[in-house]
Amino acid sequence: MTAATVDNYVEVADPMMEVVDLTVTDGYTFVSRKFERLLAGIVSVNEDNDFHINVTLSGETATINYGTGGTVAVSLMLFGEK
């Protein structure tokens, strides 16, 4: 598992939410700084690309998956608990 590059860690006041901007390649991971257990995640591509992307959660780790090669910029919104 390769770690995603964090481009921007967005400070949010909501104690149940964490938001980061990342540069990723298929299969890259992000480990939450805020939560011990992730409950839900939303990922969106910040570029004009037409492909499916999803996030898989396991414990405090989010894995970004998509079927095409190359590096993309994404925004990741996570919900979790400590």
Residues with pLDDT less than 70, the chain: none
CATH architecture of 5-81: Sandwich (2.60)
What pLDDT was estimated at residue 48?
Answer: 79
What pLDDT was estimated at residue 54?
Answer: 94
Alpha carbon distance 72, 3 (integer Å): 14
What's the whole-model pTM score?
0.91
Using the structure block, give the residue that is written with the tokens 């894995």: 63
What pLDDT was estimated at residue 13?
Answer: 93
**Domain range summary for the chain, segments of one domain joined by +:** 5-81
